[in-house]
Amino acid sequence: MKIKKLSNQILYTWLFLTGSIAVAQQDSQFTQYMYNPVNFNPAYAGSREVLSIFGMHRTQWVGLDGAPVTNTVSMHTPITNSDLGIGVSFVNDRIGPSDENTISADISYTVPTSDYFKLAFGLKATANLLNVDYTKLTQQPGDPELQYNIDNRFSPNIGAGVFWYSETTYVGLSVPNFLETRHFDGEINSVAREKMHYHFIGGHVFELNPDLKFKPS
């Protein structure tokens, strides 16, 4: 019990030190990103050439109060008789006092570059709702930085990506959020900030035998 309490204190101390001036919004983390690139690269939408639906639950630091929890659902599909693909995704990301919901819509355009490879360009539009409940933190009385919660703070964003791929090889580069959004409260300085993130992915499928494939990435 004492170990759990000490671990919680360490987590909240880290959250406080990194957020004493501003709460920096971090893009959701995906340990199994290769199964769901559309969440951070809109050019991936429709690349599987079939309707694809994906769901994931991720928990980090299990057993700690306020530990990161991510839930995501996405769907993407090619548009029949065209070079376009579309997709939608929803992500709920919770860590410490923050609870963030993100809804995204993606569109991609694909051109063949050879008999085996295709190059896709994608655009992403995002709507974000951020809630931060500072009462979940251990506070010093009268601390002006933590007196006012953030309630359903809305921010739009746009992103883009490229995805070059074949049946066995892929490389992608994307920026899901071009706008470095800053949220302000009338009583205090900047209370939340969303920074730009770059995502680079690559991988290749090695066919070890007709029944076994190896896919490092």
Domain boundaries, the chain: 2-214
In the prediction, which pLDDT does 27 show? 62
In the prediction, which pLDDT does 28 show? 63
Band of pLDDT at residue 190, cut at 50, 70 and 90: very low
Highest mean pLDDT among 4-13, 24-33, 63-72, 135-144: 63-72
Q: What is the DSSP string of the chain?
A: -HHHHHHHHHHHHHHHHHTSS-EEE-PPP-TTGGG-GGGT-GGGTTTTSS-EEEEEEEE-STTSTT--EEEEEEEEEEPTTSSEEEEEEEEEEEETTEEEEEEEEEEEEEEE-SSS-EEEEEEEEEEEEEEE-GGGS---TT-GGGSS-EEEEEEEEEEEEEEEE-SSEEEEEEES-----EEE-SSSSEEEEE----EEEEEE-EEEETTEEE---
Band of pLDDT at residue 108, cut at 50, 70 and 90: very high
Lowest mean pLDDT among 47-56, 145-154, 164-173: 145-154
| Statement: the pTM of the whole predicted model exceeds 0.75 | yes
In the prediction, which pLDDT does 144 show? 61
Residues 150-171, mean pLDDT to the nearest whole number:
92
pLDDT over 50 at 16, yes or no: no
Residues 55-80, mean pLDDT to the nearest whole number:
89
